[in-house]
Every structure is written in structure tokens, then in C-alpha cells.
Structure 1
């Protein structure tokens, strides 16, 4: 079985926003037999560095001195060293894969079916589920046996979680066109508070690196994660395989590859 942990970075912009906004929904695929090892590595890293609390991308910002930030008194080299070690937990686990959806607000709102921030949010999430299913299908072909998957998302709030859960269920069950599209998914969408989930903490870091690369063309940490990105097995292409642009047509920004 495979676990897909998903988390976001950035904020879905309102339709009338003047600037182009980018929103990322990242997913980290972890095989069940690798989860405990990755957990032990992250817990061990926290103990060794005396890091107390959850890992969050925003805590690594040079000017983040928030009281809840375990690194508020750390200098930049120490923060970057910690971040590099966190990312190595992902890239050194060869069976882990990164998938993501990246939406471009002004381009997405030109579509007839995107009329709200909620629409934009779910449109960015949907291709992540599709690529998780493609990943599972690839494993099935290679192994000759069915591999199943579960999706775990960061808990945001009861209302937001309920809305997301219902739209996820509708995607999988209610629409006839999708009924047979996700045969390898187990039940619905699960939620976990980030401070209680190692997988959510790791994918939060992934989402931040992808958002930074897309929004600011800063590939410093994105390139560190590239070995773990799902890609075309023949060409190594990430665009369309590991990262889906939403929408792909008329895209105005840089293309991550």
C-alpha cells in the first residue's frame, strides 16, 4: 500500500486579483514499508539538532522570528543545513515520489468552470489525485499485482475539511466519467493535523520548495528535490508527469522541469 500525503503552499487568489498568483498542491508518495524508517530519521534529526516542534517551510525564512518557530534563534546557515537534511530524508528514500499541481490564477479564471477560490483549490488538487492513480497503475504493471493507495491531507478546519471531503468523494464516486478512474484508491480522503503527522510535515516542505520555484523562479531547493520527482521514464521530463500545470493551455509563467 502507498500513502499520499498532500499539503498546499500559497493562497488561491480571488478572481479579480490584479497580479498573477500561483498556488501549489504537493503530494509525497510514501510506501507503507518505508514510512517508519522516514519517521525515525526525522525524529532522530530533531533530537540531534534539539529541534522541538513540527517542521514547516515558513519557519526556514531568514526573517521568521515567530515565537512558535523552533529556529527563531538559529542563523541562516544552521537553518539551511537543517532543511538540507530534511530533504535528504525524501531523496534518499528511492521509492518515494513527489507529484504536484500548480495553478496560475489569472489563466485558470479564464476557464468557465473556475469561478471561486474553492474551485481553484480543487482544480489544483484534482491532477494530484490523477497522478497518484497513474503512479499506482505503473506499480501494478511492474509488480504484476494490485497496489492500493490512501490520501492523507493536512487538517485545515471542520468546514474546509468537510467541503474537501465531499468534493473528493464526488470526484471518485458520483460522476459516471470518474467511476472507474480511481480503482486503486482506498475509501475517501483522510485528514491529520500537521503537528501529529510526519508525512504532512515532509510534504509541507516539498510544497514550499515548489511554490518558491514557480512564484519567484528560485529553484534552490526545488532542484534538491528533483531526484524524487515523478518523471517520464524515457525522457526524464517532469512537466505533465510529476507536476501538472492548471491549466496547461495559455500558461504564462515559467515551466518547472
Structure 2
């Protein structure tokens, strides 16, 4: 069984939002069930190091120089220690070559020009869809490599009752869909699983990955995006475009 932990960078903006970033990102971290314990153990040990002493949720936004949220788990660290922690944290992922990253970067302005994207939840859905498809393709590729069917399920952050209900319905419609415009999700198991991010090491890792990608596209700071690049799902020649990194919409992206 393979887990696909997903989370978004920021909040999907409404059509009339004037303060949103130009790009909305949903990122995913894919790992086999046998890897979870090792990854979770390493994260806990890293947080417990004396130079960090982190007791709380790991979120990308907490590492910002001006973040003063009361529950900021890294608020007691100076910037040098925050950066050092992020380097060690991401290396937990990078050391495991079979752990893969998938992400979709939506151009908010281009997406809202489409008749199908009418509100924030539609934007979320159409940004999530390419991620779910690439997870299915990844499972298909693995099945061919190992010679038996590889199964997977998606674990996502709980966002709110209304948003969660919409997400579940949209996900189920995709997985059970039988028309020519819906991918075959034959390697998926069950419906989507939603959990509060503070209770999931995997969802927190997806948050950190999404944050790094969002930082690269929205603020032209590619430091951690480039660091993570070797873990993206890629073609044999190493190209991640369309494989591990998808842009939405495919036409008119700006």
C-alpha cells in the first residue's frame, strides 16, 4: 500500500480576491506503508534535537521571518536554526529515493477564466485532479515494474466540514467516474481520508513541500524547490514537467 499525503500552499482564493498570490499549489508526498514508521521516527528525533527542541506542528508558514502566531512551533528559533532544521527535515525525504513528490501549480487568473472554475472549491478540485491522476500513473508504473498491482490511498488535511464534504464528493465522482474525460483510478483504495494536519506527519510533510513550491512560484525563491527537485516524479531523462510538476490550466497558464 502506498500513501499519497497532500496539502496546499495557502488558501484557494475566491474569484474576486485582490490579495491572493498569483499561484495556488497542491503538493503530495508519496511513500510506501513500510516507510512511514522510519520517516515519522526520524522527524521526531530531529524535532527533539537540543538545538531545535520543537514540540508542535511543522508548517511552512511558521518559518517566515515575520510569523508571530502564538502556536508557531519554531518561533523560538532564529532564522539560521530554522533554515538548518528545514535542510535536515527535507533530507529525511531526499534520502529515500522511492519517496516521490507530485504537485500541481494553478495560475489563479487563468483558472478563473475557465467556465468550469467558478469558486474557490472548484479551483481546489481542478488543482487536486492532476495530482490524483499522477498518483494513479505512479501506481501503474510501479505495478509494471514489480509485476503485481500496487494500491494506494490519499490522505489530506481536514479543512472544514463544508469543504471536506465537497472534497469527498468530488474525489468519489472522479474515482467512480466512467466517462471519457475521467482518468481510470483502478489502483485507488477506498475514498479519501481527511485528518487534522497536527495529527499527521505525512500531511505536515506535504505542507512543507507545497510551501517550498509555492515560495518558488509566488516569490521567485527557488532554494528549497531546487533542493527537492530530485524527489519529484520524473521522466527517465529527469524532466519533471507534466510528470511530477503539473500546471493548471494547461492552456493559458500565465
TM over 0.5: yes
Query: Which deviates more from structure 2 when the two are superposed, residues 179-188 or residues 149-158?
Result: 179-188
Structure 2: gaps (5+ residues):
none
For 1:115 and 1:192, locate their aligned partners in 2 and report how far apart those are by CA, in whole Å: 27
In structure 1, the partner of 2:24 is 23
Shift of 1:54: 1.0
For 2:182 and 2:111, locate their aligned partners in 1 and report how far apart those are by CA, in whole Å: 25
> 2:164 matched to 1:161?
yes
In structure 2, the partner of 1:255 is none
Of residues 224, 248, 254, the one that matches 1:246 is 248
- Post-superposition CA distance 1:15-70 (Å, at most 9, x none): 23467721001010011111110000001111113111111101111111222112
Q: Is the contact made by 1:12 and 1:22 (CA closer than 8 Å) also made in structure 2?
A: no
Alignment of 1:128-167 (within 5 A): 128-167=131-170
Q: Is the contact made by 1:57 and 1:208 (CA closer than 8 Å) also made in structure 2?
A: yes
For 1:219 and 1:161, locate their aligned partners in 2 and report how far apart those are by CA, in whole Å: 31
Alignment of 1:108-257 (within 5 A): 108-177=111-180, 181-233=184-236, 235-252=237-254
Q: Is the contact made by 1:6 and 1:25 (CA closer than 8 Å) also made in structure 2?
A: yes
Is the partner of 1:222 in helix, strand or coil?
helix
Shift of 1:174: 4.0
Is the partner of 2:191 in helix, strand or coil?
strand
Structure 1: gaps (5+ residues):
253-257
Q: Is the contact made by 2:174 and 2:183 (CA closer than 8 Å) also made in structure 1?
A: no
For 1:79 and 1:180, locate their aligned partners in 2 and report how far apart those are by CA, in whole Å: 40
Is the partner of 1:27 in helix, strand or coil?
strand
Shift of 1:249: 1.2
RMSD (Å) for aligned C-alpha atoms:
1.5
Q: Does the C-alpha gap of structure 1 residues 112 and 180 become closer, same or farther in structure 2, counting only changes over 3 Å? A: closer
Q: How many residues in Structure 1 have an aligned counterpart in Structure 2? A: 251
For 2:14 and 2:116, locate their aligned partners in 1 and report how far apart those are by CA, in whole Å: 14
Of residues 89, 92, 105, the one that matches 2:92 is 89
TM-score, L = length of structure 1:
0.93
